[in-house]
Amino acid sequence: MAKSPSTLEDDLFTLRLSRSARDLWPMLEGLYGTHPDYAAFKDRLLAALRKAARDRSPDLRRLDLQRDLEPDWFQRPDMAGYVFYIDRFAGTLKGVLDKLDYLENLGITYVHLMPCLKPRPGDSDGGYSVMDYRAINPDYGTMADFEAVTAALRARGMSVCIDLVLNHTAKEHAWAKKAAKGDETYQDYYLMYDSADLPEQYERTLVEVFPDNAPGNFTHYPDFGKWVWTTFNEHQWDLNWANPQVFLEIVEIMLYLANRGVDVVRLDAVAFMWKRMGTRCQSEPEVHMLLRALRACSRIAAPAMIHLEEAIVAPAEMLPYLGRGRHDGREGNLAYHNSLMVQFWSSLATRDTRLMTHVLASHFPEVLTNATYATYLRCHDDIGWAVTDEDAATMAMSGQAHRNFLSDFYEGTFPGTFARGALFQENPETGDKRISGTLASLAGLEKAVADGDAQGIDWAVQRILMGHALIAAFGGIPLIYMGDEVALLNDDGYRDVPEHAHDSRWIHRPRMDWAAVRERGDHSPAARVYQGLRHILARRKVTDALHAGYATRIIRHDVPGLFALARLAPTGAMVCLFNFTESWMNVPEGLVRGAGASLMYDALSDNTVQLHAGAVVLPPYGRVWLS
């Protein structure tokens, strides 16, 4: 007799629970095994997982099965992402529905809706100060509107990513309000202290994230007599992940969002989740245990969903978020390749790719297990110059001097710079100077247009397209930040908005210029960038060698200004070359063939490359994908 659908679903749940058991229970035992409520916690967690699995809609259950059968779905070359604030792109969630043709025509298959869960009123750190994880920002619409968008995107084969902030909630969150009123159960959801003694001890080894407007890591609240851990802002209270009830609450929220149609959860501020006296309280071992357990919960109850772990840290600290050592292949599926982004801008400024080649060849594995990178040229955040003193020293440079140079260059104050940006959170004590700015303005378009410099405009366009060809070929999911496809410039109007004026990151969060999209001329910078990027994504989609499961090998060489890598596909290597200078470049045929390119066919232009005097010749900011 055939089994009923409910029995089949129960069997699937049992099989998935068994599959992920070693990723879940040993992690939780290590984290919470000595907690007096541990046994009851396990029972509640199992019940929550079972309920979430039963609540999946039929189409999401089908997607669960499809992605169980095709676990490399997010590594395939047809994946290309687009990232935007809902209000700045389309006004509301309903407005997003009117823009789906635009996204599909560009070649997008992955849409990141920037923070859209209900934030606190006023300054909300760009939406990352969340007061209700189960509600949508009312300025954007309702949860029903959100589900309509996820369903429409799913029907077009597009995945949906949203942000889930794990380190903290807004102080207006229901948990925080109860804690402020003296409820000890909810006070244990946060990190609260009766005196300044322990906070002062922790502060000795902590760093300040926002020293300008949120110095220190703790806030004293005289009205209820507590010191509260507030890493980022006074209105963002750090959660106490040593409390198993916090883990359970977040799992239920995460699966609630999965059942609303979320494919990718971007887990925000994960490095800060676990606190240990005498450390920076970043990337402690327990963080990786927590993230592995959270991933297991998704694989059990909603296996169509994967995790993007936001950890903008040095390579040795970042790679474990993709699973290394005992967590290999069992933690995050995606993490931002911050070093690739930083080195792109560093090499553009210096016209020298040696540091880029050294960093990417020395610190990153050629292949990852069940994981890949989110590659990008910029994002909603500032750019911090993550160049270590040790790496700089290999190039006979001072790390501090090089970081200062990059800040000056991209702020637009260094002699001869092409860039126009803005400083963000300058720290006089450490010398740290981060940079804000749109891709086009940092790449030189704003200055060139202001100067009436036709050559400068062309070079800026080519820098933008070369960068996108790089992130499309490197390995991972290339992410396009809203407006970069039409070369939007800096928006200085943020200074006139009181809740934005203190934060220069709003300079690179302009509203989408739909008039410019409709009216761009055939030879305008916007049109050239749009058509060039659309072409890059179309060529990526049909180039099997760019599957993220294949190794990426950085090629060491002695050609000044050239960055080279090989994608090691089973059918043969694809050698990708990028000219980071304004000069023509000759790349010796021997270098290309030695790296594995047996045919001089450029998959990017879909043309055969003719050699000249035994060399591949690249124009200024030229790029090829040679098979």
Q: Mind telling me the catalytic residues?
A: 268, 310
Q: Are 441 and 489 in contact (CB under 8 A)?
A: yes
Closest C-alpha among 252, 258, 207 to residue 232: 207
* Residue 473: DSSP 8-state: H
Rounded to 10 degrees, the C-alpha dihedral 381/382/387/389 comes to -120
Closest C-alpha among 462, 448, 454, 514 to residue 486: 514
Terminal C-alpha separation, the chain:
54
38-72 burial: b if 16+ Cβ within 10 Å, else e: eeebbebbeebbbebbeebeeebbebbeebeeeee
Q: Are 247 and 287 in contact (CB under 8 A)?
A: no
Structure tokens at 594: 């030695």
Q: Are strands 159-165 and 264-268 parallel, antiparallel or unpaired?
A: parallel
Rounded Cα distance, 486 and 529, in Å: 6
Rounded Cα distance, 286 and 474, in Å: 31
Rounded Cα distance, 327 and 185, in Å: 32
Rounded Cα distance, 118 and 116, in Å: 6
Q: Are 284 and 276 in contact (CB under 8 A)?
A: yes
Rounded Cα distance, 437 and 596, in Å: 38
Rounded Cα distance, 491 and 489, in Å: 6
Closest C-alpha among 83, 80, 115, 95 to residue 514: 95
Place of tokens 């540091």: 355
Residue 277 burial (C-beta neighbours within 10 Å; 0-12, 13-18, 19+): exposed
* Residue type at 565 in one-letter notation: L
Q: Are 577 and 616 in contact (CB under 8 A)?
A: yes
For 257, half-sphere exposure in the C-beta direction (CA atoms, 13 angstrom radius) is: 28
Place of tokens 């309000």: 177
Phi-psi region of 610 (alpha: psi -120 to 50; beta: other; left: phi over 0): beta
Place of tokens 């990526």: 540
Largest separation between any pair of C-alpha atoms in the chain: 80
